[in-house]
Structure formats: C-alpha cells, structure tokens
Amino acid sequence: MKILIKGGRLIDPANSIDDQLDVLIENGCVAAVGTNLDSDNAQVLDATNRLVVPGLIDVHVHLREPGYEYKEDIQSGTRAAVAGGFTSVACMPNTDPVNDNKTVTSYICQKAAEVGLATVFPVGAITKGLKGESLSEMGQLREAGCVAVTDDGRPVDDGEIMRRAMEYARSFDLPVISHAEDLAIVGGGVMNDGFVATELGLKGIPWVAEDAMVARDVMLAEFTGARLHVAHVSTRGAVEIIRAAQKRGVAVTAEVTPHHFTLTEEAVRGYDTNAKMNPPLRSADDVAAIRQGLADGTIGVIATDHAPHHRDEKNVEFNIAMNGIVGLETALPLTLRLVEEGVLSLSEAIARLTCGPAQALNLSRGSLTVGSIADVTVIDPECAWKLEAEELLSKSKNTPFDGWSLKGKATNTLVRGKIVYNSDEV
Amino acid sequence: MSFGHKHILGIEQLSADDITLILDTAESFKEVSTREIKKVPTLRGKTIINIFFEASTRTRASFEIAGKRLSADTMNISASTSAVVKGETLEDTAKNLEAMHPDIIVMRHGHSGAPHYLAERCGFSVVNAGDGAHEHPSQALLDLMTIREKKGTIEGLVVAIVGDIAHSRVARSNIYALKKMGATVRLAGPGTLLPTEIERMGAEVTTDMNTALDGADVVMMLRIQQERQGKALLPSNREYSRFYGLNPENLKLAKADALVMHPGPMNRGVEISSAVADGAQNVILDQVENGVAVRMALLYLVSGGEQLAEQSA
C-alpha cells in the first residue's frame, strides 16, 4: 500500500523544512520526501494549496475510558482527535479505575489499537489512586506502555512524595508531568482571582497558587535530575520561573492550552460555565506572558487538556460546574490564529504541535524524516468555518468557542500510513 | 420616563435614571403601608413566587408583604422544603416553576449568578434577592431611599462601608448604586476581607477604619458573616471589634449628623456596639420600613409599570 501526497507545502520543523515537496508513504513509513516524486501504483493525495505536516501530537487529553464513558471513550475521543488533525494523543490517568497499574494501561493500549484511529500513549499515575500517598509501579507502567507519569487533575501536595516520585521516575526515564497548584492557596476558588471575580462575587484562584507549585517542582527537578513537564501553564510567573530554570539547564518543558492563550477571565462574565476550567482563564497580562513564552520557545508545546464533560455537569450554577472544555477539534485553528496575529511563524506553530510535544514526552513521532512512522496531517490553512458545538465529534460539547468563526482545518489525517480521516467523507 | 427592565438582577445593569425612577416610585408606595387598609389593586391577578435557597427572615418577609400590598398572589418556597435537598438541579426547579406560570420569581441563592441562570432560561421576570457574594440590589435601593430621605440627596455625600467586603453582596450593590448617584464611597476592612482589585469598582479602599470614618456623611456597617470566615480570615471577634467595630468614640470621626446604617442582622458588640445600634444616629429601622416600599416599586416596575396603571384606569 503506497500513498503519494503531491503538491503540498511541506512543513517539518524537526528537519527545518518548509518547501514545496511531495511525500511518498510505503508500508506505514515515510519512504521518500522530494520534488516531483512519482510512483506507479500509489494512491495519489492531491495537496495543492494545502500544508503537509507531521501528524499533530496532543500530550494532554482526557479520554475518560475506563469509567466515565458517558463523557467520552477511546473511540469517540480518538475520532475527535483525527478530525482535529491529531495522530497521537497522550491520555491522562484520572479514569476509574485510575491508570496506576499495568492492567489499566494494557486495556487502554489494546482498546486504542482495536479502534485504530489515533495512536494513544497512556500516561500513568504518579501515586496510587491519585491519592498523593504512595508511588505507583512506574517500572511496570512503562513496560505496559506508559510514556510519562502525572496525577493530573490534582497536584502532588506532599513535597517528599514529589521528590521521591522524580527520583524514582528517573530510573525509568519517565518524564514527570506536574499539575501545578497549591491547593491550600487555591482555597475554594472557582475562577481567576482578580477584578472580574471580585465583581462577579466568585471566589478567586490567585496566580501565586500556580507559581508557588511550579517553583517547587522546578527546584525538585533541578535537585533530582528528573525530566519535568509542566502541564497547562497559565500565569506570567510560571512562564518566568520555567524560562529561568531552562537557562540554568534544568530539564523542564512546558505546555499551554489554546484556551489559555486565546481567552481571558473576561469570558467568565455572564457566569458561562464553559469558561470554567482549571487552571482558570487568567488576566490579559498573563495571556501576553504566555504568548511571549510560546514565541521565545520557553513553552514548546501546545496541548488541549481536552476535558469532556456531560451537559448536566456544565448546565448548573457556576460554583458547582465541572472544570474543563473539549479541545481536540479547535486546537489547530486557534493555534493558526497565533500565526495570523504575528505571535508565531507558521513553522513555529507547527513545531508546538509536533516535534515540541514529541520531545517533551520522548515520543518517536513528530517528524517526516525518511524511515519514520508515517503520521501525517494535511491542512487547508484557508478553510473558513464556523464552529457548531453540536457538530463536534467528541461525545461532549462543552466549548466556549461555539459559534466562533475559525480558519484552518485538517483535511486528511494519516496514522501509520493509513488515511483515518478525510474531511470530504464526513 | 419608562422602566425598560424585565429583570432586576443587579444594580450594575441600572442607570441613574432607573434608580431615580425606582426611588420615586417607592416613595409613592410608602404611604400605602401606613393606611388602615394596606392594599392597592395594582398587581391583582399576578403570581409572585419567593424562592429562597438561603435562610432569610427580613428580605423574604419584606418581599412577601410588598407583593401582598400590591394585591399579587404571593407564595414562598424555602430551601428546606424545596426539592433541592432531594438533589434537583436548578434547571429542573426552573422548569417546574415555569410550568406554574408565575409572573415574577424573587430568588435568593447562595451561588453568585444563579438568578442570571434563571433569567436566561425562563419566561418570567426574575428579581434577585441576593446571589452569593455578588449583588443584593433591593437592599442597596432601600439604603439609597433612606439616605435620600434623610439627607435630601445622594450626590456629593461621603459614604463609608466597613467590614466584610469580600463576602458582601450588599457592599457590591451599594458601591454600584452610590457611585451612579454621585456619592464618594470609602471601603474599610482587614486585608483578608478586601477582595482583589476592589478599588477598580471606583471606591477608595483602606484597612484603617478611622480613615474611612473621617468626615463621612453615612457609615454603613456590614455584618461579619461568621459562617463564611473559615479558619484564617480573622483571629477573633474581640480583635475584629477592637479595630473594625463601630462605637460611640470612633463614630465621632464622622460628621456630627452622620447616618449609621446596617443591613442586618446585627452582631451586637462585634461590628457595632449596642450604644450605636440603638443610638440617635441610626436609621436601621427606617431601612427596614423603606425595604417594603422599594420592593413594591420593583415588583410594580418589572410588571410593566405605567402600562398597568393605564389598564386599571
């Protein structure tokens, strides 16, 4: 089975390529990249006026299976992923049961293989049951297929446990993903602490709750030599702490979500529960700092924190609504807005969605180097479309971008050389 | 002028003209409460449901009396008897209420934004009787009515609001209302009870009560909400009373004819000493009396105001 992607603008930031090039795919791998490639018996995919990029990678996704299939499952989640241009997703362990043991990891891998859409890289728990008390069996998690560990959704509150987790994870070369918030400082907060919270009479989550924990975890990484990845950075302080640590040579990477670089706390006005997330949408100053961090490479990863919730969990008073929004199908156009706004070059934007995430979690993906696995996304950068939440492929429709006019869409998504999404056939 | 609002969700949405119209209307209704037959037929045939998800005596009674004096059919639902304790969502509560075709829902709710939720989804008028730490518009309006009655005007006055600003919907509504009517607002409280960037609402902010009291025309004391203090906001009532309690001595810092106000219920000896609470300057019971008139005005105006008067003429 051969596929020839012809006539597109190939952007492969890992190899510093941005050129009019064809890609030949054979046996699930990239067989050749060049001009005027020809192959007698290949299926030709016309990519004229399209971008051809390494398959997008999302290192922060909640697939909700096992346990919360009423919100999302591996089938619906990976369907949404490939429709959004993502060929690989890393799924968080806060399922039920928690992915803190090899049985759950194996189940996820097996189910994802059966579905056969995006590649799913499970992320295991740092502590058993996400309770923050004792370490999970990280060696066996790694053997079963986990690519990193995190207690995402919760910080590891106890500094000693986090220290030991980093020391232990290092033995298996597992990156540790920090969900950074000091819960005591968060208190009962439900949105960013600032003027909007004061006016709306909602309890605030101050930036220092995030900064304090990022500082602790960065220092623990420096001390232990572990690889740290900071999830969903949302504050100016966090960006500055990470930037300074990277300059000192600490092995720390960071991600930001499209909603944190697109929206501010103002989106909460009207008590819109689709603007409720953790960390909360922050101030305009924080958003500016995050964008600066993306531009200078401090933040090398754009990740969605795709967090599907059932309608009934959002259609309630703001205080008691669940945190989070879906993101797999909106990440690409929202990232391309950064290019239009001059924050990132097109190549940098693609890097934040491909080789950046691959590097952060050591994934053998994210480039179109000859011989590598043929995960490819073909994008129509000019395609203008209106987001209708009800049309999302995710089981859940919780998005603050409903009705937004967006530009840019994945038209073909190839995983291991197989076309798993074609926008013409949807 | 006419009143263009279907709902009263907060003072934030009202203009100075709206507020003046409400106060003028309230003044004309005040007399009804002193008649022998305390009733006018204005809202005859209208159904008003007071639904209170938080305990309240004076606000609920005040709204109920206001409705009855306008001849509306009023009924009360309180949280302990509502289906919420059985796990019903606000959406289902709203749908069920709507199926009974009320004209006005007066709602108090512990969560900020709950009345906005109702107003967005239902056909009836919603009057906010206090939502979380957000707004308590009828309280601010009755405060304004009382100040205007005693001082003749609101414009140019200096109003000190002292106490737990962070948890106070009364404070937020009063800041909006007083600023719109041209008063200067000073806020005072300990750092733990002053919310982030509150000064951006247009008030002067200080942690020193004496600074706020200095030369004030009105001193508005807020209730220390014991139930919301948690473990780390205040060291003790004794310390609070020492630095943020109003007593005859520090009251002297305000103007000699300054009004003392309190939205109630009072913690005597904590935020206000009994000598002040019962003293000559307090207008606390005037506030309660005016509350009925203001609420009559609100119910009347959201029902269509002048149109009703024409129909019954």
Give dist(CA B226, CA A147) in Å, integer. Answer: 49
What is the least distance, in Å, from the CA of A209 to any CA of chain B? 15
Nearest CB partner across the interface for A201, out of B112, B200, B230: B112
Residue B14 pLDDT exceeds 80: yes
Indicate which residue of A305, A375, A402, A424 is catalytic.
A305
For residue B139, give both structure tokens.
Answer: 């309280």
| A305 is annotated as an active-site residue | yes
Residue B151 pLDDT exceeds 80: yes
For residues B81-97, average pLDDT: 78
Instruction: Find out whether A418 and A412 touch, Cβ atoms under 8 Å.
Output: no
Give dist(CA B275, CA A124) in Å, integer. Answer: 64
Name the residue among B159, B171, B262 with its Cα closest to residue B213: B159
Residue B107 pLDDT exceeds 90: yes
What does the angle CA B112 – CA B118 – CA B121 come to, to the nearest 5 degrees? 135
The amino acid that residue A417 corresponds to is G
Domain B7-135+289-311 classification at class level:
alpha beta
Give dist(CA B74, CA B46) in Å, integer. Answer: 8
Give dist(CA A218, CA A221) in Å, integer. Answer: 5
pLDDT in tens, A125-178: 999 999 999 999 999 999 999 999 999 999 999 999 999 999 999 999 999 999
For residue B140, give both structure tokens.
Answer: 């601010």
CB contact under 8 A, B111 and A317: yes
Instruction: Report phi then psi at B193, rounded to 5.
Output: -115, 10
* pLDDT-based confidence at residue B313 (cuts at 50, 70, 90): very low
For residue B79, give both structure tokens.
Answer: 């949280």
Residue A245 pLDDT exceeds 50: yes
Nearest CB partner across the interface for B117, out of A194, A200, A271: A271
Alpha-carbon dihedral angle through residues B147, B153, B158, B164, given to the nearest 10 degrees: 30
CB contact under 8 A, B133 and A202: yes
Residue B310 pLDDT exceeds 60: no
Kind of pairing between the strands at B204-206 and B184-188: parallel
Q: What is the pLDDT of residue B312?
A: 52
The amino acid that residue B17 corresponds to is D
Q: Find the DSSP H helices in chain B.
A: 16-30, 58-69, 90-99, 114-121, 137-151, 169-180, 209-213, 237-244, 248-251, 274-277, 284-302, 306-312
Average per-residue pLDDT in chain B? 93
Q: What is the pLDDT of residue A380?
A: 98
Nearest CB partner across the interface for A198, out of B91, B132, B198: B198
Quick count: other Cβ atoms within 10 Å of Cβ A363?
18
- Domain boundaries B137-283, corresponding CATH code: 3.40.50.1370
Kind of pairing between the strands at A376-386 and A405-415: antiparallel
Give dist(CA A56, CA A375) in Å, integer. Answer: 8
What is the least distance, in Å, from the CA of B196 to any CA of chain A? 5
**B112 contact residues in A (CB cutoff 8 A):** 200-202, 271, 318-319
Inter-chain Cβ pairs, chain A and chain B, closer than 8 A: 62
Q: Is B58 annotated as a binding residue?
A: yes
In the stretch 62-81 of chain A, residues with CB closer than 8 A to chain B read none
In the stretch 159-198 of chain A, residues with CB closer than 8 A to chain B read 187, 193-195, 197-198
Instruction: Find out whether A383 and A409 touch, Cβ atoms under 8 Å.
Output: yes
ipTM entry: 0.90
**B111 contact residues in A (CB cutoff 8 A):** 317-320
What is the least distance, in Å, from the CA of A58 to any CA of chain B? 34
Q: How far is CA B204 from CA A16, A137, B34, B279, in A?
A: 56, 56, 39, 27
Give dist(CA A122, CA B21) in Å, integer. Answer: 63
What is the least distance, in Å, from the CA of B194 to any CA of chain A? 9
Q: How far is CA A392 from CA A255, A402, B16, B58, in A?
A: 24, 10, 45, 49
**B12 contact residues in A (CB cutoff 8 A):** 199
Residue A391 pLDDT exceeds 50: yes
Q: How far is CA B27 from CA A39, B213, B288, in A?
A: 89, 29, 14
* pLDDT-based confidence at residue B98 (cuts at 50, 70, 90): very high
Give dist(CA B226, CA B205) in Å, integer. Answer: 23
For residues A314-333, average pLDDT: 97
For residue A375, give both structure tokens.
Answer: 């995960």
CB contact under 8 A, A201 and B90: no
Maximum alpha-carbon separation in chain B: 60
The amino acid that residue A152 corresponds to is D
Instruction: Report phi then psi at A89, rounded to 5.
Output: -135, 140
Q: What is the pLDDT of residue A136?
A: 98
CB contact under 8 A, B112 and A270: no
Q: Is B262 annotated as a binding residue?
A: no
pLDDT in tens, A163-216: 999 999 999 999 999 999 999 999 999 999 999 999 999 999 999 999 999 999
Q: What is the DSSP letter of B281?
A: T
Q: Which residues contact A111 (CB under 8 A, 6 or more apart)?
A: A65, A74
Q: Treating both helix axes as pointing N-terminal to C-terminal, what angle do A331-340 and A346-353 enclose, rounded to 10 degrees? A: 150
How many helices and strands in chain B, by DSSP H and E? 12, 9
Cα-trace Rg, chain A? 20
Residue B306 pLDDT exceeds 70: no
- Say whether residue A201 is in contact with chain B using an 8 A CB cutoff: yes
Instruction: Give chain A as a 3 state SS string.
Output: CEEEEECCEEEEHHHCEEEECEEEEECCEEEEEECCCCCCCCEEEECCCCEEEECEEEEEECCCCCCCCCCCCHHHHHHHHHHCCEEEEEECCCCCCCCCCHHHHHHHHHHHHHHCCCEEEECECCEHHHCCCCECCHHHHHHHCCCCEECCCCCCCCHHHHHHHHHHHHHCCCCEEECCCCHHHHCCCCEECCHHHHHHCCCEECHHHHHHHHHHHHHHHHHHCCCEEECCCCCHHHHHHHHHHHHHCCCEEEEECHHHHHCCHHHHCCCCHHHCCCCCCCCHHHHHHHHHHHHCCCCCEECCCECCCCHHHHCCCHHHCCCCCCCCCCHHHHHHHHHHCCCCCHHHHHHHHCHHHHHHCCCCCCCCCCCCECCEEEEEEEEEEECCHHHCCCCCCCCCCCCCEEEEEEEEEEECCEEEEEHHHC
* pLDDT-based confidence at residue B1 (cuts at 50, 70, 90): low
Q: Is B121 annotated as a binding residue?
A: no
Identify the residue among A191, A196, A198 best suited for mutation to test binding to B, counting B beta carbons within 10 A and taking the highest: A198
Indicate which residue of B7, B60, B69, B136 is catalytic.
B136
Average per-residue pLDDT in chain A? 97
Domains B7-135+289-311 and B137-283 share a fold: yes
Q: What is the pLDDT of residue A38?
A: 87
Residues of B with CB under 8 A from a CB of A: 12, 89-91, 109, 111-114, 116-117, 131-135, 169, 172, 195-198, 200-201, 230
What is the least distance, in Å, from the CA of A260 to any CA of chain B? 21
For residues A276-302, average pLDDT: 98
For residues B132-144, average pLDDT: 98
For residue B311, give both structure tokens.
Answer: 């129909």
Residue B308 pLDDT exceeds 90: no
Residue B160 host element (H or E): strand B158-162
Give dist(CA A232, CA A153) in Å, integer. Answer: 11
Instruction: Find out whether A9 and A51 touch, Cβ atoms under 8 Å.
Output: yes
Give dist(CA B122, CA B115) in Å, integer. Answer: 10
Give dist(CA A267, CA A155) in Å, integer. Answer: 25
- Spatial strand order of the sheet with A376-386 comes to A17-20, A9-12, A51-54, A376-386, A405-415, A418-422
**B91 contact residues in A (CB cutoff 8 A):** 315-316
Percent of all residues in chain A with a pLDDT value above 70, rounded to a whole number: 100
Cα-trace Rg, chain B? 19
- Enumerate the domain spans of chain B: 7-135+289-311, 137-283
CATH numbers and ranges of domains, chain A? 2-51+373-422 (2.30.40.10), 55-366 (3.20.20.140)
Identify the residue among B51, B112, B172, B199 best suited for mutation to test binding to A, counting A beta carbons within 10 A and taking the highest: B112
Nearest CB partner across the interface for A201, out of B89, B134, B197: B134
**B134 contact residues in A (CB cutoff 8 A):** 200-202
In the stretch 267-306 of chain A, residues with CB closer than 8 A to chain B read 270-271
For residue A337, give both structure tokens.
Answer: 């807005």
Identify the residue among B90, B196, B205, B225 best suited for mutation to test binding to A, counting A beta carbons within 10 A and taking the highest: B196
Name the residue among B24, B35, B13 with its Cα closest to residue B296: B24
Give dist(CA A104, CA A66) in Å, integer. Answer: 8
Residue B126 host element (H or E): strand B125-131
pLDDT in tens, B226-280: 776 667 788 899 999 999 999 999 999 999 999 999 999 999 999 999 999 999 9
**Chain A residue closest in CA terms to B196:** A194
Indicate which residue of B7, B46, B108, B167 is catalytic.
B108
Q: How far is CA A323 from CA A22, A278, A303, A320, B50, in A?
A: 43, 6, 16, 9, 31
**Chain A residue closest in CA terms to B115:** A317
Quick count: other Cβ atoms within 10 Å of Cβ B252?
11
pLDDT in tens, B216-238: 999 999 999 877 666 778 889 99
| B186 is annotated as an active-site residue | no
| B116 is annotated as an active-site residue | no
Q: What is the DSSP letter of B157?
A: -
Residue B29 pLDDT exceeds 80: yes
Strand partners, B219: B160, B260
**Chain B residue closest in CA terms to A192:** B196
Q: What is the DSSP letter of B223?
A: P
